[in-house]
Structure 1
Amino acid sequence: MDFDGEMLERELRELETRAQQVREELAALVVEAKSKDGLIQLTVGSQGRLHALTFDPRVKRLSVEELAERVVGMMNDALDLLQHETAAKTSAMFPDFTADPPFGGPLQ
């Protein structure tokens, strides 16, 4: 079997280009979560950072404990969705890529 350095170099450049595309897409990834009753909405960015949290004025009806519990639950749901989206984008660009969650593994 002959070693084809040019072909290997081409494949490496293509891989580098795909990797850069994935990095850009993941950096721009944003997920939103909204409560079923529409009282709470939040937006989470690609690094799991909370970008926005808004409350409908009717949220005053909730106890402080219930409000905190719902925000935590929504944040966890948004992070799960973010993890799923990250894995989906990664596997779409690199179908042979296998890693443990949160960066790979089977999508649920």
Structure 2
Amino acid sequence: MVRVIAITLLFLLSSVAHAAQDPTAPLGWYSKKSSSVAKRKTAPLPKLQSIVCDDGSQCFAMLNDKILSNGQFVAGYKIKAITFEQVTLVRAGKTWNLEIFNSDIRQ
């Protein structure tokens, strides 16, 4: 009696495991299991809204609704340089140049 119950349970468990696979997948294909290594999430680039420069060529930029200057941080990115055309951001050894307008403007 115990043997019949054990065989029945094994049969039910094997059918559940089989149903967990994608029935439309090619034969012999198995999806990758998620790795135990945590993936680093990168912060999204700040949104550049405007650049204002005074006569002394000191420039300020509005990023994510904040007025910032060189050396300040926004959303985890350090502002390396601000020119009248672009803002240069640095994070983890990588550099991004944000521009107000796309350079490929067509008329």
Instruction: Report the TM range for the smaller structure's normalisation.
Output: under 0.3
**Larger relative CO (CA 8 A, sep 6+): 1 or 2?**
1
TM-score, normalising length from structure 1?
A: 0.24
Higher Rg of the two aligned structures: 2
- The structure whose residues are more often helix, as a share, is 1
TM-score, normalising length from structure 2?
A: 0.24
